Structure 1
Amino acid sequence: MDLATLLEEIDLIAGAGDADDALDLVKRLVRTERVTWACEIRRSVTKGQLDAERLVAAGEKIRRESIAHREQARRDLMAATRALLRAGGDNVITRGARELAHFI
C-alpha cells in the first residue's frame, strides 16, 4: 500500500469508520510488511473503541516520517554519486552517474 492510499484510507476511517475498519487496515499493513505503520494505527484503537483524533495524528506522523525518509535517501544518493564521480575515473558507470546527478 502506498502512502497516498494509506492517508486517504485513514481519513475515511477517522471520518466514518470504526475500530474494526482500523484493525482491518492494520492487518493489511502487516501483510504487506508495513509493521511500523500498522503499530501506529493500532494505537488508535483501545478496548474496541476508535480514537479518530489519534488515528489522524498517526497518519500525520507516518506522512512526516515518510517525507523525512525520502529526503534522507535523496541525500545519501547524492553523496554516493559525488563519491563515485570523484573516485571512479572515466568509464560507463561514472558517465551514467553524471547523468543521474542532474535528476537528484
Structure 2
Amino acid sequence: MDLITFTEEIELIAGAGDADDALELMRRLLGSNQTVLAIAVRRGVMGGKLDAEALLASGRKAVEEATQEHERGRRQLRAATRDLIRHGGDNIITRAAGELALFI
C-alpha cells in the first residue's frame, strides 16, 4: 500500500470506523509485509477500542519516517551515481549513470 492510500484509510477509519476496521487494515498491511505501517495502525487500538487521535498521530509519524527514509535513500543513490560518473571512466555503465542522474 502506498503512503497516500495508507493516509486516506487511517483518516477514514479515524473518522467513521471502529477498532475492527483498524485491525483489518493492520492485517492487510502485515499480509503485504508492511510491518511498520501495521504497527502504527495497531497503536490506534487500545483495549479493543479505537483511539482515533492515537491512530492519526501514529499514522502521521509512520508516514513522516517513511518519507525521511526515502529521502535518505535518494541522497545516497545520488552520491553513489555521482561517484560512479566521476571515477568510472567512459563506458556504457557510466553513460547510463549519467542518464539516471537526470532523474534522481
Q: Same fold (TM over 0.5)?
A: yes
| Aligned match of 1:31 | 31
Task: Please list every run of at least 4 consecutive aligned residues from structure 1 whose deviation after the TM superposition is greater than 3 angstroms.
Answer: none
Matched, 1:86 2:69: no
Residue 46 of structure 2 is aligned to residue 46 of structure 1: yes
The runs of 5 or more residues in structure 1 that have no matched partner are: none
- CA–CA distance in 2 between the matches of 1:87 and 1:33? 38
Task: Supply the distance in 1 between the matched residues of 2:69 and 2:10 (Cα, whole angstroms).
Answer: 20
Alpha-carbon distance, 1:63 to partner: 1.4
Deviation at 1:49, TM superposition (A): 0.6
Give the unaligned 5+ runs of structure 2: none
Q: Figure out how many residues of one structure are paired with residues of the other and give that number.
A: 104
Please give the residue correspondences for 1:47-86 in structure 2 after superposition, counting only pairs within 5 Å.
47-86=47-86
Deviation at 1:32, TM superposition (A): 0.2
Distance 2:9 2:91 in 1: 47
In the alignment, the residues of structure 2 paired with residue 62 and residue 91 of structure 1 have an alpha-carbon distance, to the nearest angstrom, of 41
Give, in whole Å, the separation in 2 of the partners of 1:70 and 1:59.
16
What CA distance in whole angstroms lies between the structure 2 residues aligned with 1:39 and 1:102? Answer: 36
Query: For residues 1-35 of structure 1, what are the alpha-carbon distances to aligned partners after superposition, in whole Å with 9 as ceiling and x for unaligned?
Result: 11111110000000000000000000000000001
* 1:14 counterpart letter in structure 2: A
Partner SS state of residue 33, structure 1: coil
What is the alpha-carbon root mean square deviation over aligned residues? 0.8
Q: What is the TM-score of this pair, normalised by structure 1?
A: 0.96
